[in-house]
Amino acid sequence: MDDHHYDIICVGAGVVGCAAAKIFGSDNRRVLVLERDLSEPDRIVGELMQPGGMDALKSLGLDDCIKDIDAVPCFGYSIYRHGEFIHVPYPSIPDGADDEDTPKKKAMGMSFHHGRFIQKLRHAAKNTSNVTVMEMAVNSLIRKEGQEQVIGVAAQEKNSDKQVEFYAPLTIVADGIFSKFRKEFTELKPDVRSNFVGLIASDLKLSTPEHGFVAIVDPSPVLMYQIGSNETRVLVDVPVPVPSNASGDLKRHLQEKIVPQLPESLQPALYRALEDQPLRTMPNGFLPPFANQNLGVIILGDAMNIRHPLTGGGMTVALQDVILLQQLINQSTIPDLQASDDLIMQAIDCFHWKRKHHATPINILAMALYRIFAAGSNRALIQLQRACVGYFQLGGQCLEGPVGLLSGLTREVLTLIYHFYGVALYAVYQQWHSSEDNLWTCLVNSILLLYTACITIFPYIWSELKL
């Protein structure tokens, strides 16, 4: 086999591309990873790994990539609403054998600089047998003459006009949220309703160390978590249309409207950060997963499926997708990819439906929770928001169930629906027990609450089921 033919080509050396290279290379597949720029990336998202993602990272043999990057453990969240802090810890998990008498430990996530983590993943991929990593921009997918089947890619190096063709029976397209190839396989586009405005604050002490921090403010939430010993990532969700950054309107919006709503102890560090560094933005969108119809290619990661990053579930879904794909096309299942077009297509079809087990709860939770936390002036959503926080404060399964879903450790859609409507019914309960309205008004408001709950979650359930 010559140097231009491989078993698998990965377009993109991010989380998905590197993880796929590692696991398939370890399975004795010849893997080529192509990335247009191998310098350390600088992004404002992809910096919090939920416990479910940590488990996936360990399964992939990539857990060492968290070491020596000044990563910070994360044991849950602290929610701030109307001057009140609510502690939302991750659930306890068995420490060893699955036995009732086995001691339990707290589930743990990690937060870190995205670029440092990616560079460690790339290093791990490069040092895996059978894996080749090249700094080349992929310009196009090569298709079999007269057919839709993808048989390789055409790429070129920096500062060169020469185009090189590489061939493989399977190409993994993982070129991220701004994918240049997505449009070749679907008419779907990310539905962008807000942007995260990001900055890094130094000397900022969160109320609960080693926990993420979510402030529910008007009109939408603010997320913070440590990404280093003395650095805290601050992400302010700003609904579209976003004020102009160039004119200074965005900065004034944060200074005058958002920061004053946050705890006073955090405000000085935030004002300093706003003065010391430029603001950066990242669109927050929703893209339901779409089934692949073309032989020889599969779309993974944010190129295929996007949810709001409020819950930090993106990397968890991506890593579990890679694990599932490898299980479906490993050496024992399909020994020779070169002569197994039909088997590869069957595996990709199977992948689309099997991934729903781990991806659907995270996708739905992220979008539904964001809609509730970004209630704005919608009275029914504000009531659901209050009920959601109150539901957590009830403790027991009212806390552990939702947080198990958030952490990526619980993967049952029915559990999500159960707790979502638990929150809705709790909102109805609060309506009847705290309102001074008459019977008729309470009844109407209760119906409106349940209707709002339905239109909040059902569109996302449908988007997962119909494709």
Task: Return mean pLDDT, the chain.
Answer: 95
Digit-coded pLDDT (tens) for 165-206: 999 999 999 999 999 999 999 999 999 999 999 999 999 999
* Local structure of 74: helix, strand or coil: strand
> How far is the C-alpha of 72 from the C-alpha of 284, rounded, in Å?
24
User: What is the predicted pLDDT for the residue at 96?
Assistant: 57
Residue with tokens 């950060």: 273
Residue 2 C-beta-side C-alpha neighbours within 13 Å: 4
Q: pLDDT over 70 for what percent of the chain?
A: 97
Asked if 110 contacts 49 with a C-beta cutoff of 8 angstroms, the reply is yes
Q: Is 85 left (phi over 0), alpha (psi -120 to 50) or beta?
A: beta
Asked if 198 contacts 251 with a C-beta cutoff of 8 angstroms, the reply is no
Q: Which residue has the higher pLDDT, 133 or 101?
A: 133
Residue 241: asked if its preceding bond is cis (omega within 30°), the reply is yes
Domains in the chain and their CATH numbers? 8-70+112-187+287-357 (3.50.50.60), 72-110+191-286 (3.30.9), 375-465 (no CATH)
Residues whose CB is less than 8 angstroms from the CB of residue 419 and which lie 6 or more positions away in sequence, other chains included: 391, 398, 401, 402, 405
Six token digits for residue 251: 């900065």
Measured from the Cβ of residue 426, the count of other Cβ atoms closer than 10 Å reads 18
Six token digits for residue 40: 């350390």
Q: pLDDT over 90 for what percent of the chain?
A: 90
Residue with tokens 């001691």: 103
Asked if 120 contacts 111 with a C-beta cutoff of 8 angstroms, the reply is no
Asked if 289 contacts 464 with a C-beta cutoff of 8 angstroms, the reply is yes
* Local structure of 353: helix, strand or coil: helix
Digit-coded pLDDT (tens) for 151-160: 999 999 988 8
Asked if 343 contacts 334 with a C-beta cutoff of 8 angstroms, the reply is yes
What's the residue count for the chain?
467
- Residue 224: φ, ψ to 5°: -140, 145
> How far is the C-alpha of 113 from the C-alpha of 318, rounded, in Å?
18
Digit-coded pLDDT (tens) for 385-410: 999 999 999 999 999 999 999 999 99
Banded model confidence at residue 286, pLDDT cuts 50, 70, 90: very high
Name the pTM for this structure. Answer: 0.95
- 126: DSSP letter: H
Closest by CA position to 31, among listed 337, 350, 345 = 337
> How far is the C-alpha of 242 from the C-alpha of 132, rounded, in Å?
41
